[in-house]
Structure 1
Amino acid sequence: MLADPIAGAVYSTPAAAAADGVHAAADPYEHPHCLQRPAAGAVLVLAPGPTVPPEQAARVATSTAALLEVRGQRAAELRGEQMRLHTTLVRLLLAGHTAAVADTLGGSRLTHVTVYRLTGADVPTAHQVLWRAVGPSLAPHADACTLLGRLDGELVVAELHRGGDDGRVLRLVSRVSERHQLLAGMAGPLPLAEMPTAHSDAAAARHSATPDRRIVPADAVGTSRLAPLLPTAPYARWAGAVRRPLTPAHQHLLLVWLRTGSKPRAAAALGLSAGTVRARIRELSRLLRADLEDATVQAHLLLVLRAPASAEIPGGDGPGPPPPVWRLCRTASWTPRRSGPGPTAWSADWSRI
């Protein structure tokens, strides 16, 4: 059995022995009957039968490990070229060349992407370790494909699939992050054409990562628990009216800025200069007729950007100019109510929206 420290059992004969082999590699002193040899960054574990002479078992283990090392060296010679190809494909996706990448991977079966962005001092080593664990392949017409690229000193993992993944890459990224002390943000699944959005969202999420929580999904950043409590139809109408003058690019810029908490961090996530982000936010402040530096306005903006599309609500987006962002607190009248013992709840009168 060949055990990788991150991926677990890479190969096992018989397959049922994989779990025992992983346990033996993790704690060799508890399994003295097993022979172990380092091999190509993994551990070769052999469990000789009771009738096999120890000398013969040792020769088999040593020879097999040596052959694996030769194969590993050959793979390492090709790995640099493969890594450069992966990085190029990631850059093409970020530049919007979705069709070209899909053609390279064998067609349109891969429709969605989940993106991870990892940073830390040990990114180069983590890249090698994760590469071995994932075993990425560009085989055409596959149901999933994982791209690993190094961009501007960080590790970008783009998992392409058909709308849902089995969690394997997430588990491997989590183990590598813990082992190599990395911080990571995760975004998706999103349609493949929205790879740039997923890339920015993952960077925004990563700013909330800590040593106690090394991977943060984008959905966990900036999510308001108040939104599900608001009456859907009037809330969506108000949010839709505020969003009316905003393009999708405007909304994405605002969301990344609010998630990261600062203009320099938003600039890094979006690949823009801090001055450009400041200028665009000033322009949006004039467009929305609101002081976007005000904390209350920022909270309202998060509600606006998290609201369901008003087109999905009957009677949404009526005529007339958009209301100011800050009008939420004026249109909803909050009153206390009690329903038995316990803390006071609050309800809102949205009749004037």
Structure 2
Amino acid sequence: MKLTTLFAGAAVALGLATVAVADGHEKTKVGFVYVGPIGDGGWTYEHDKGRLMVEKELGDAVETVYVENVAEGPDSERVMTQMALDGADLIFTTSFGYMDPTINIAAKFPDVKFEHATGYKRADNVSTYSARFYEGRAIQGHIAGKMTKSNIVGYIGSFPIPEVIRGINSAYIHASKVNPDVEFKIIWVYTWFDPAKEADAAKTLIEQGADVVLQHTDSTAPQAAAQEAGDVVTFGQASDMAQYAPFPRVSSIIDEWGPYYVARTKAVMDGTWESTDTWDGIGAGMVGIGEISDAVPADVKEEALALKAAIADGSYHAFTGPINKQDGSAWLADGETADDGTLAGMNFYVEGIEGDIPQ
């Protein structure tokens, strides 16, 4: 669908958002800017579930609107501007590439609150939020290392940004802990959502011997490709992708945005909203681990659940030394854990991963 069509639709939808509630007070208007379609079965689907939770929890006190398939860059600035002009009180911009556009538009609308997902730039009226997806990658890596027969794990990367690099490193660390012979093959597709590209990447990895495929892209195409190939293990990304369970999808990382969206909308409504950074994981419930299917051996499932529990209660950190960087230089000493600043800007592979990070 062309952006102009979406843009016009958004304006109509936002126009409806000016309806006042019965007692005469205007509804709080909340906008969502999505990088993919709400039917992607992954990232945007889960953000939209969060939007629907806002409507369910807050009822007639809110009006929500969204625009899907918004390209990162100038297109997103136009969409954000239109939302603000049409009276949005709070706007969630849900992709890393919306970071600078969010900061730019927020400066022009100081009375509108903005929330940017997975970025690091803040302002008085801009908060950031993200989930510690790397915690879920640790669990996936453990299962992958135990289940691979070829010792080759494929990984479909979207863009070489810290969030994705963290995930690759976490998965590799935990796969190699239980299987020192494991090898990761990484294909970068430079998109968040492109089923054809994602399917091609999965097929290429499988042709290269991977019998486990991880993804940091948003469609279910890699699941379908693995299902067609046969004996290849996959994991749901961002949403459960349970239609592919019990095999090839043996578990998943689920992004649980709803409670955060409800809380932040309430903060705007009651006047307590402040600019903050939020980075929560399994313990806080922002990262969910989908049911581990019976395709996973019982002992491996038990180990994975124990790892999940240790991460959740804080007794274990997914980046705990000794860990070296790819070039062999020391990064974390024995028992030392990574600080959030290094993780937030991670731009290196850990020792054992082959290949270069694209610049």
Please confirm whether the aligned pair reaches a TM-score higher than 0.5, indicating the same fold.
no
Using the size of structure 2 for normalisation, the TM-score is: 0.26
Higher relative contact order (CA 8 A, sep 6+): 2
Structure 1 or 2, whichever has the larger Rg, is 1
